[in-house]
A and B are shown apart, each in its own frame.
Chain A
């Protein structure tokens, strides 16, 4: 499909918005949970690929059907790579640092399934976006 006017772009945006509403503010979008994994060169170099596959694997093992795993770029937190952001509807997004495969599985088991965040791995994202 080709976009031929601003109105068409707007329509596509509104359709796509549902997909990302949760992303920034934890706005509601049903019970869909999102796991963002930082997959830029830096993240991958620190092992983000293993983290991603571990999370994918654990999610399927736990039969969680409402979890979407999304590879994203780098947020600049090299000191804490690999980075995983967890977006649960109705809650502020939570940023986890230094998530290896094992910790990725724990996040799935404890936080997504059990509702208990892994406090010691949470890092803060203190910036505004334009």
Chain B
């Protein structure tokens, strides 16, 4: 192939073939041959570009010019103008709907621009168990440069200027954290990687450790150099066996190549990493609780100050950063702080990985520049709401966050804006809900989680979350009163004010936020004893519409407790006293005769 100076890539995906791309390919081949260019230009049929709407797609490499809606008759013009004369065919360039600017390079197109992978850059691309593949993709170059060409202060300055902030949820500027730890007095310092991913539904840290463990090792070593630490610890939950295995392999490989150990890159700097397994407690993601756990104590938070940067692991200055934060570091060193700070919004730079889950078509991990809107994530990347249902809300920030409703779908996502609309960034969990999700029930789900995960140190959190959960249980089973709603609110503020760490301070957020945006649902549960979505089974009351029932017996057959009676071709009846509200009859009835509460 190397003998060809130019490649013409033509989409052979189903969509483009349907719009005649086969003929386009044929014409290109014929015309190239006729003009005598078939020896130096090659036509390649490719897989789908994922941009079927604008097909057939033709891409010219290495010029990286992207033509859309190319008809068979256009082949001659592209060959004559572009291939032979080197002039772009303006009329076939892609025109972005919003800007009306012709865009020739496909990397600049909105559709492709939605995702930018910095932290996940190597995930799915390299063999995580082969250090040479990581090195091939510029691995350990950032470490080499930091150690041999930069002073620790210059490294810190670069990270500070890049605007990188903690990706575990806190959003504290990483460079500042490094600087504080560096400036703290003491000869022994530590750097810890927080891999205690506990937010239900979030799994980006696991993916990074499983797909690209060397990026974290490299970044921790850079961090160690910057703050003056010779020892790094990865605090990782024991539920991540594969991540542990790959990380262990990667650490050993790095040691074999002298990238961990003494005299790294021929300098005086020595650094090594050990693993510490956690038992998977949510509270241990909080840095002081984490440090206690690493020391072998109970995973409970301690008072701040002193901050870990002053007195952390064994009372030595300690810097704790999250996995995703670390994964960004090598790219920042290699490409510079200006590059990184050019991505994102005013105060939130770079990208963020989100674990998109719930009622969307394309669940998975997405990494987008800060400032991308929720609408873009849910509809463009996530492919819209599952089963053509209607969007209701999205929960960000996991059990510490809140719901965001349709009116805020166009909010650019960054640390500040999410707080402004009553939620938070958190570690990047993003759960999409549709009209079949009961918001009171959602709040109950998160409260149950925080209630279980409360370490018990602070009474407001330990007892308060339990009481809140009881109120929610009461409300969803139809026994709630208006006083309960007031008590819930009051309790929320008490827990927030009276807790030492982030777990308690944010635990009531899901309740407060659903109350703010879906007060009517709470009222329906309390006053009308009715759950508008039917999700709260205690409040559900399935019945059969006699006008619509044709007596097909389908519902009676599917009922697991045999509480539907009726003869063939006669109206059926549900025995309310025995009904377990499973909804099987509703799903089965083809005549919409079962009325859902």
Contacts and interface: CB of A to CB of B under 8 A. Distances in A.
Interface of A: 1-6, 9, 12-13, 15-17, 19-20, 23-24, 28, 36, 38, 40-42, 44, 70-80, 83, 85, 89-92, 94-95, 117, 119-120, 122-130
Contact of B148 (A5, A94, A117, A130): A5
Q: Closest 7 A-B residue pairs measured CB to CB? A: A73-B211, A124-B50, A76-B365, A75-B124, A2-B258, A127-B115, A16-B136
A129 B14 CA distance: 26
Contacts of A95: 47
B265 A20 contact: no
B517 interface: no
Given A72-B128, A79-B364, A20 B136 contact: yes
Interface in B198-246: 203, 206-208, 210-212, 240, 242-243
Contact of A73 (B42, B114, B123): B123
Interface string B1-22: 1100001010011100000000
Contacts of B141: 6, 9, 13
Interface residues of B, number: 72
B231 to A, nearest CB: 20
Nearest to A72: B124
B125 A72 contact: yes
Given A3-B258, A6-B144, A78 B242 contact: no
Nearest to B126: A72
Contact of A130 (B118, B210, B259, B362): B118
B319 interface: no
B140 A124 contact: no
Contacts of B132: 12, 15-16, 19
A79 B113 CA distance: 21
Nearest to B127: A70
Contacts, number: 184
B367 interface: yes
A3 B113 CA distance: 37
A45 B127 CA distance: 18
B148 A6 contact: yes
A73 B145 CA distance: 27
Given A78-B365, A80-B362, 12 more contacts: A4-B266, A40-B206, A40-B207, A72-B124, A74-B207, A80-B364, A92-B9, A92-B47, A119-B12, A124-B51, A126-B51, A127-B115
Contacts of B208: 73
A129 B1 contact: no
A38 B117 CA distance: 17
Given A126-B111, A128-B112, A91 B126 contact: no
A96 to B, nearest CB: 9
B506 to A, nearest CB: 26
A6 B145 contact: yes
A117 B135 contact: no
A16 B139 CA distance: 11
Contact of A40 (B129, B136, B211): B211
B332 to A, nearest CB: 10
A94 to B, nearest CB: 4
A71 B2 CA distance: 28
A129 B207 contact: no
A28 B2 contact: yes
A71 B129 contact: yes
B362 A77 contact: yes
B257 interface: yes
B331 interface: yes
Given A3-B257, A13-B135, A128 B117 contact: yes
Contacts of B379: none
In the complex, which of the residues B46, B47, B240 has the most CB atoms of chain A within 10 Å of its own CB atom? Answer: B47
A57 B311 CA distance: 56
Contacts of B114: 126-127
Contacts of B348: none
B107 interface: yes
B211 A74 contact: yes
Contacts of B31: none
B432 to A, nearest CB: 13
Contact of B123 (A2, A75, A85, A123): A75
B44 interface: yes
Nearest to A6: B144
Given A73-B128, A76-B123, A126-B112, A1 B44 contact: no
A117 B240 CA distance: 35
Nearest to A130: B118
A87 B246 CA distance: 24
Interface string B120-158: 111111111100110111101100110010000000000
Contacts of A5: 144, 148, 265-266
Contact of B135 (A12, A36, A130): A12
Contacts of A94: 46-47
A3 B134 CA distance: 14
Nearest to B330: A130
Given A9-B140, A24-B125, A72-B124, A4 B263 contact: yes
B176 interface: no
